[in-house]
Structure 1
Amino acid sequence: MVLGLATAAPLLAQGEQSTAPYAYRQLDDPAKEEKAQALMETLRCLQCQGQSIADSDAPIAGSMRSLVRERIEAGEDPEAIRSWLMERYGDYVSYAPRITGLTWPLFAVPAVLLLLAFLLLRRLFTGSAKPGEGA
């Protein structure tokens, strides 16, 4: 009896219908599908981390693809969808993070370090060869 239940469970699970109807199905309108695809390529899969939801086969990526397509189909703006997903999952979900009061140093520090390196190298190269000194 227990063995029968154990073998029947996978068969029942395979028969269940997906809750994400647009996970692997494209929208009928090519223009809307293009918008959805462009947005999906800028959103990170939360499970795979290195892939966009457009490329990932993870279940959560399928659900996110379906959400994006459903909202695009309903006429929602892609940036509004991105903002909604970032509110829901955090800034990490987007490959294009927002500059906020907490994140601006992440963008400013590399620029400051490059400027500092440029000034130090310039000083090093222009200050070592003084006019009138021979080799």
Structure 2
Amino acid sequence: MLLRLNYLLSGLLLIVLSAALYVVYRDFFYLVIMIPGLYLVISGATYVDQEQINRKVESIVYERIVDQGLKRIERGAMKVDRDRFLKDVELMRPILGQRNLMPDVGYDAIVFRCNTESEANELAERIRSRGLQVSTVQSYKEWLVRVEL
């Protein structure tokens, strides 16, 4: 947010300075100052904060997992009850926004896919620190982090 405000204010200052130069000198020198000012204003106005993106992704993934899980519980395709499922997914909610990937909802676990063993171990440790049971499994080309429900 602070970076966005700095860009906007700096750009506006340069635009005002270039307008003053145009009024006083009536020369094309003002363009040299106006172009960077316009760039700063445009980049400041279109700046997107990564935290906002993570929160949006987190809420979309969370809602999708809850929706899938509740449908599977109603059909009898999951062995956990509704309250425990909601509690466990709520504990994982901050991690969901950081992953930016949709995990798979299985019969008795939620499965995250990782490319490397170190990535899988790091993710498993973060989930384990929240009090959930986690196991790491190597598949053919990828690592799977299973969160037991």
Length-normalised TM-score, structure 1: 0.34
Structure with bigger helix share is: 2
Q: Which has the higher contact order (CA 8 A, sep 6+)?
A: 1
Length-normalised TM-score, structure 2: 0.32
Structure with bigger strand share is: 2
